[in-house]
Structure 1
Amino acid sequence: MREEKRGGWSLGLAGLLAPAALWLGLFFLAPLLLILAYSFGTSGVYGGITLGFNPANYLKVFDPLYLEIVVRTLVIAVANTLLCLLIGYPLAYFIAFRGGRWKSTLILLVMIPFWTSLLLRAYAWVVILSGNGLANRLLQFLGLTDEPLNLIFTTKAVMMGMVYSYLPFMILPLYAALEKFDVRLKEAAHDLGAGRWSTFWRVTFPLSMPGVIAGSILVFIPSAGEFVIPNLLGGARTVMMGNLIQQQFLNARDWAFGSALAVMLAALLLAAILFYVRRVGAEKLEGV
């Protein structure tokens, strides 16, 4: 009887997992394997690709021109993650410990940007930072500048747009981790003579590491693959790997090199995340 029950449970579990496995297989694993196969192919002169084994696509990534874009992408992604952490942690801390009856309202305000498209939010920054935009008008009204400043199509503009877009991805995991925090631990630390900063660095921050790790991963991964914000706010001056991959597929029609870039980006992200988790400690991901 138990064997039949176990078999029934196994069959039922397989039935539940089958739709998700089929979906992931068709729309995640199959395209990933196709891109991997394309990365070793040879692109035609007028588009198209011939499958084979051509590792030169990967060696081309180490050209100084493309290597500069890879380094720039990683630097911007790391900087965006750090800025989101520096801005998001105090806000999440305030909502968790000082929000009171306004917690739900404040979390709702954090989530409001999700109600609109990323493309619309990026275009809003174009309006704000353009030569005749709100930022330049305000600076001239306050008498800080006599003529419009070059605020758009710069790395700073890209950083502002990315921090604005991905800040909620940092705040929400941090809030979830801090909300579970036992306030009695802070009281015990104070009773033992620890000051506010000592309590924060030795008690609060270590116990909020699950939120820090989750938020960092949620911000770093899409930041490294971002192409909409750099395209609108950075232009040709701030090309990232996402823009380069897009150009190779749509403009240059070099599908093989574009696929190699995509595989390299995925490998770099995976290596960076594994290194980060191993350094911090995988056990701290529990409860995220």
Structure 2
Amino acid sequence: MSQASPPAPSNAPSRDRTELPRWIEPLLLLGPAGIWLGLLLIIPTLLIVELSLVPGIRPGQVVNPSGLNNYALIFQPIYLQVLGRSVFFALGTTIICLLLGFPVAYWIALMVPKRWQNLLVVGFVLPLWTSSLLRSYAWITILRPTGVLNSLLQSVGLPALDILNRSPAVLVGMSYSLLPYMVLILYASLEKLDRSLLEAAADLGASPSQVFWRVTVPQTIPGITAGALLVFITGLGDFVDPELLGGASSMTAARLIYNQFLGATQNWGFGSALSTLLILAVSIAIALLLKYGDRNTSNV
């Protein structure tokens, strides 16, 4: 009588075990961040866009989108002047930060020994660890008529400077606040610089200025673009420095939006239209950077 052999083990997966579809795994990873982003960014932005279509709405009134009247108000000369002043401050701050930040980043990345670079970078961004409000009040102490700067100038026989509550004071405060961001981005770009190209250009007889403009700058254009865009966008929406250092004559878009929501006018529709315009401008700038940034890198 023959004995039955035991069944061969099967390599097939058990039917009781269910496998999740592949599209669920990234959804589970991105879900928490997506929910957070939707609640705190996307939904508020959509609400702002909706309010921008309601002319003259105030707190407690019914939201009934009915047109683009709020956007038409932006093109009045007084508001165009405010927007132009905001662009002037942001652009001026960007230029100042680039002119001051590039030599510092170049010195740290290419001339300082490796063991000191991290320490110098941390020391240079140390002001970011303090409150922006505290930094602005410090500049008030320095720039006021009886402040540190004028006391120093008068001690050496130079005339005092009256720049507080004027545009130069705003540019000084904004440049001081945003300069570390420019230095960090430029330092990261210059640290990756191919130094063999610099040596090759020098061996071929290029002068230091030619090496800088034809080798160094083209390789760091993506970093320059990213740093300039970051400083410009942040400066465009800066509120603290123009408010404390510029006085009443330095009205900017951020202060104007604040007045529409929390000031005496209480025109949420117009404030939302201004906010939507700034969001659109920033989004276009970021899209251009993402589209053309890689091309700059490939042309080096």
Calculate the TM-score normalised by the size of structure 2.
0.87
Match of 2:137 among 111, 114, 123: 123
Is the counterpart of residue 112 in structure 1 residue 126 in structure 2?
yes
Residue 268 of structure 1, CA deviation: 2.5
- From 46, 56, 63, the counterpart of 1:50: 63
Match for residue 257 of structure 2 among 239, 242, 245? 245
Does 2:105 align with 1:89? no
What is the SS of the residue equivalent to 2:175?
helix
Contact 2:97–2:182, Cα closer than 8 Å, also in 1 = yes
**Counterpart in 2 of 1:18?**
31
SS at match of 1:51: coil
Contact 1:213–1:285 at 8 Å: present in 2 too? no
- CA 1:285 to 1:228, structure 2 compared with 1: closer, same or farther past 3 Å? farther
Pair 1:216 & 2:242 matched: no
Letter of the 1:84 counterpart: C
Residues 49, 260 of structure 1: alpha-carbon distance in 2 compared, 3 angstrom cutoff: farther
Does the Cα contact within 8 Å between 2:222 and 2:293 map onto a contact in 1?
A: no
1:173 aligns with 2:185: yes
Flag structure 1 segments of 5+ consecutive residues without an equivalent.
none
- Please tell me whether the aligned partners of residues 43 and 49 of structure 1 are also in contact (alpha carbons under 8 angstroms): no
CA spacing shift, 1:192–1:149, aligned 2, 3 Å: closer
Larger CA Rg, structure 1 vs 2? 2
* Unmatched runs of 5 consecutive residues or more in structure 2: 1-11
Is 1:133 the counterpart of 2:134? The answer is no
Q: Which amino acid aligns with 1:224?
A: L
Letter in structure 2 aligned against 1:137 = S
Shift of the 105–37 alpha-carbon distance from structure 1 to 2, 3 Å rule, reads: same
Is residue 219–residue 297 contact of structure 2 (8 Å, CA) maintained in 1?
no
From the two aligned structures, give the one with the greater helix fraction.
Answer: 1
In 1, the alpha carbon distance for the partners of 2:253 and 2:110 equals 39
Distance in 2 (CA, whole Å) between partners of 1:198 and 1:8 is 57
Match of 1:38 among 32, 45, 51: 51
Say yes or no: does 1:231 pair with 2:247.
no
Is 2:176 the partner of 1:164?
A: yes
C-alpha displacement at 1:235, in angstroms? 1.0
Corresponding residue of 2:198:
186
TM-score w.r.t. the length of structure 1 is: 0.91
Comparing 91-100 and 8-17, the one that deviates more? 8-17
After superposition, the C-alpha distances for 1:109-158 in whole angstroms (9 at most, x for unaligned) are: 1110111011111111111111221111111111112xx54220000000
Query: What is the deviation of 1:50?
Result: 3.1
CA RMSD of aligned residues (A): 2.3
